[in-house]
Structure 1
Amino acid sequence: VMAAASLIFFAFYGFDAVSTAAEETKNPKRDLTIGIVGSMAVCTLIYMVVAAVSIGASRTEVFSKSEAPLVFILESLQHPRIAQLVALAAVIALPTVILAFMYGQSRIFFVMARDGLLPKSLAKVNAKTGTPVLMTLLTGALSALISGWLSLKDIAELANAGTLAAFIAVGLAVIILRVQDPGRQRVFSTPIWPVVASGAILGCLYLFSSLPTQTQLYFLYAHCIGAVVYVAFGMRNSLLARAERT
Structure 2
Amino acid sequence: MDLFRKKSISAMMQQAQTGTALKRTLGTWDLTLLGLGAIIGTGIFVLTGTGAVTAGPGIMISFLISGLACALTALCYAEFATLVPVSGSVYTFAYATLGELIAWIIGWDLILEYLLAVSLVSAGWSGYLQSLLQGLGISLPTALTAAHGAVPGVETWFNLPAFAVVIVITFFVARGVKESARVNNIMVLIKTAVVILFVIVGIGYVKPDNWHNFMPFGLEGVFSAAAITFTAFLGFDAVVAAAEETKNPAKDLPRGIMYSLFICILLYIVVSAIMTGIVPFAEFEGVAHPVSLALQYAGQDWVAGFIDLGAIVGMLTVMLVMLFGQTRIAFAMSRDGLLPSVFSKVHPKFQTPYRATWIIGSVAALLGGIVPLDRLAEMINIGTLTAFVLISLGVIVLRKTQPELPRKFRTPAVPFVPLMSMAVCIFLMTNLSASTWYAFLIWLTIGLSIYFLYSRKRSHLNG
- TM-score interval, smaller chain: over 0.9
Structure 2 distance, partners of 1:28, 1:127, is 24
Stretches of structure 2 lacking an aligned partner (at least 5 in a row): 1-220
Q: 2:342 aligns with which of 112, 118, 121?
A: 121
Q: Confirm or deny that 1:100 pairs with 2:321.
A: yes
CA–CA separation in structure 1 for the residues paired with 2:344 and 2:323: 16
Q: Indicate yes or no: 2:301 matched with 1:80.
A: yes
After superposition, residues 24-35 of structure 1 pair within 5 angstroms as 24-35=245-256
TM-score, scaled relative to structure 1: 0.92
- SS in structure 2 opposite 1:193? coil
1:110 paired to 2:312: no
Q: 2:389 aligns with which of 159, 165, 168?
A: 168
Higher relative contact order (CA 8 A, sep 6+): 2
Distance 1:145 1:215, change over 3 A: farther
Native 8 Å contact 1:167 1:201 kept in 2: yes
Distance change in 2, residues 1:200/1:90 (3 Å)? same
Structure 2 residue 267 is the aligned partner of structure 1 residue 46: yes
d(CA) in 2 for partners of 1:139, 1:186: 34
More helix by proportion, 1 or 2? 1
Structure 2 counterpart of 1:38, one-letter code: Y
Measured on the aligned residues, the alpha-carbon RMSD in Å equals 1.6
Mapped partners of 1:183, 1:95: distance in 2: 43
Aligned to 1:61: 282
Structure 1 residue 149: Cα displacement: 6.3
What is the number of equivalent residue pairs in this alignment?
242
Q: Percent identity?
A: 38
2:457 to 218, 236, 239: 236
- 1:106–1:132: 8 Å Cα contact kept in structure 2? yes
2:421 is the counterpart of 1:200: yes
In the alignment, which residue of structure 1 is the partner of 2:105?
A: none
Shift of 1:37: 0.7
1:126 match: secondary structure: coil
Find the aligned partners of 2:375 and 2:409 in 1 and give their Cα distance: 35
Distance 1:51 1:35 in 2: 24
Task: Kindly report which structure 2 residues correspond to 1:146-185, keeping only aligned pairs within 5 A, or say none.
Answer: 146-147=367-368, 151-185=372-406
The change in CA–CA distance for 1:59 and 1:221 in structure 2 (over 3 A counts) is same
Amino acid at match of 2:294: I
Deviation by residue 1:71-127 (Cα, 9 ceiling, x = unmatched): 111111111111111011101211111111100011000010011010123210110
Cα separation, 2, equivalents of 1:206 and 1:193? 20
Where structure 1 has 5 or more consecutive residues not aligned to the other structure, the ranges are none
Q: CA deviation at 1:41?
A: 1.2
TM-score, normalised relative to structure 2 = 0.50
Task: Give 1:221 shift.
Answer: 1.1
CA contact (8 A) 1:168 1:200 kept: yes
Mapped partners of 2:408, 2:456: distance in 1 = 29
Which residue of the partner structure matches residue 241 of structure 2? 20
Residue-by-residue CA offset, 1:118-174 (whole Å, 9 max, x unaligned): 012321011001001111112112323444565443332111111101101101111
Q: Which deviates more, 225-234 or 56-65?
A: 56-65
State the distance in 2 between where 1:149 and 1:188 align.
44
Instruction: Please give the alpha-carbon distance, in whole angstroms, between the structure 1 residues aligned to 2:369 and 2:379.
Output: 14
Cα distance in 2, alignment partners of residues 22 and 208 from structure 1: 28
